[in-house]
Each structure stands twice: as structure tokens, then as C-alpha cells.
């Protein structure tokens, strides 16, 4: 576990230049070094940067959300699903546990639904334009909890 809390603004684009996500106009994202709060490939690029610094980071899929894994795709009979209409693109947890993986319905037939447990950004090379807004020492509470607190971090 690192000892710094880093806040940054980011704009995420795919290889065609399409914006997928951005913190612009909102709170920056805040994370505790080494806590796994952001993808590792991006964190590695941010370590050592100072407030006000900007960086253009391109990550291969394997350093971002990983390659698409066919073993995370399953076909489930509709009668085994909770009774409701399911459409392609629907996302839900694959179990009652709050930590159950989130799956996406990628195909629906009269009898079955195909559920994909891969991250929606799996197998995509991604570009992040980042600007560091703050670097500060983590508090004892943050180190004990293993995550950042305050704006952009955990609230509790
Ligand atoms: Zn906490």
C-alpha cells in the first residue's frame, strides 16, 4: 500500500477518439496508492506526478480492463432468470451478494439469454488524458480502511 492519496481529472477515449467517460465538470477521481481503486496500468503512470501536471496515457487492453475472456460468457435459460423482460445491454449482478460480478446481457432468444461477465471495456485499448489536481499524504484512517476518503473518494 502506498502512502499518498492522488486526485485527478480524466477523459477516457477509445481508439477511434470517442469519449467514453470523463470527470470534467464534476469531482476529480481520488484514490489511495496501491489500493486497487483504479486500474493498475493507469495508476503506474500517475505515480510520481505532481499537482497541475498533465499526461496523455495510452493503455493496451491487457493493462486496462484485460482481454475478453470467453469463459466469462454463459448462456442461461430464461426460466432460470428473475421474472422480468431482459433486453440486450441490460446489466445486473450475477447473484444476491453485493460483490457478485456484474454481467451484461449480450444476446436474448426466445429461450435463452447470453450473459457476459467481462468488463464492458475488456479487449479495448484505451486513452486517458489526465490532470493531477492534488497529491497529499493519506490519513491514518484511509490507510486503515484501504481507500481514499473525502471528495471523489469514499463517503461514510
Ligand atoms: Zn473508509
Question: What pLDDT sits at residue 93?
Answer: 84
The CATH number of residue 77's host domain is: 2.40.10.330
Q: Ligand 1 centre from 144 Cα, in Å?
A: 8
Question: What pLDDT sits at residue 2?
Answer: 63
Query: Do residues 71 and 107 make contact, with C-beta atoms less than 8 angstroms apart?
Result: no
Q: Ligand 1 centre from 146 Cα, in Å?
A: 7
Q: Ligand 1 centre from 145 Cα, in Å?
A: 5
The CATH number of residue 15's host domain is: 3.10.50.40
Does residue 12 share a domain with residue 50?
yes
Question: What pLDDT sits at residue 55?
Answer: 98
Higher-scoring residue by pLDDT: 112, 92: 112
Mean pLDDT of 117-138: 95
Does residue 59 share a domain with residue 9?
yes
Q: Which among 50, 28, 48, 24 has a CA at the least distance from the CA of 38? A: 28
Cell of 118: 467481462
Q: What pLDDT digit, counting tens, does each position of 19-54 carry?
A: 999 999 999 999 999 998 899 999 999 999 999 999
pTM: 0.79
Q: Ligand 1 centre from 95 Cα, in Å?
A: 25
Query: Do residues 152 and 84 make contact, with C-beta atoms less than 8 angstroms apart?
Result: no
Q: Ligand 1 centre from 7 Cα, in Å?
A: 16
Q: Label residue 83 by pLDDT band (50, 70, 90).
A: low
Does residue 99 share a domain with residue 84?
yes
Percent over 70 (pLDDT), the chain: 98
Asked whether residue 151 is assigned to any structural domain, the reply reads no
Domain that holds residue 51: 4-65+122-145
Q: Ligand 1 centre from 119 Cα, in Å?
A: 25
Query: Do residues 101 and 94 make contact, with C-beta atoms less than 8 angstroms apart?
Result: yes
How many domains does the chain fold into?
A: 2
Amino acid at each position: 500500500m502506498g502512502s499518498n492519496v492522488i486526485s485527478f481529472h480524466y477523459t477516457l477515449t477509445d481508439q477511434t477518439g470517442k469519449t467514453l467517460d470523463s470527470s470534467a465538470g464534476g469531482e476529480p477521481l481520488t484514490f489511495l496508492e496501491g489500493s486497487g481503486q483504479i486500474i493498475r496500468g493507469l495508476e503506474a503512470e500517475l505515480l510520481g506526478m505532481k499537482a497541475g501536471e498533465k499526461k496523455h496515457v495510452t493503455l493496451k487492453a491487457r493493462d486496462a480492463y484485460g482481454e475478453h475472456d470467453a469463459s466469462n460468457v454463459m448462456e442461461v435459460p430464461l426460466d432460470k432468470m428473475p421474472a422480468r423482460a431482459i433486453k440486450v445491454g441490460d446489466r445486473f449482478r450475477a447473484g444476491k451478494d453485493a460483490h457478485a460480478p456484474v454481467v451484461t446481457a449480450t444476446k436474448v432468444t426466445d429461450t435463452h439469454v447470453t450473459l457476459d461477465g467481462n468488463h464492458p471495456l475488456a479487449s479495448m485499448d484505451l486513452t486517458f488524458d489526465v490532470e493531477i489536481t492534488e497529491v497529499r499524504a493519506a490519513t491514518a484512517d484511509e490507510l486503515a480502511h484501504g481507500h481514499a476518503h473525502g471528495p471523489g473518494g469514499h463517503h461514510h
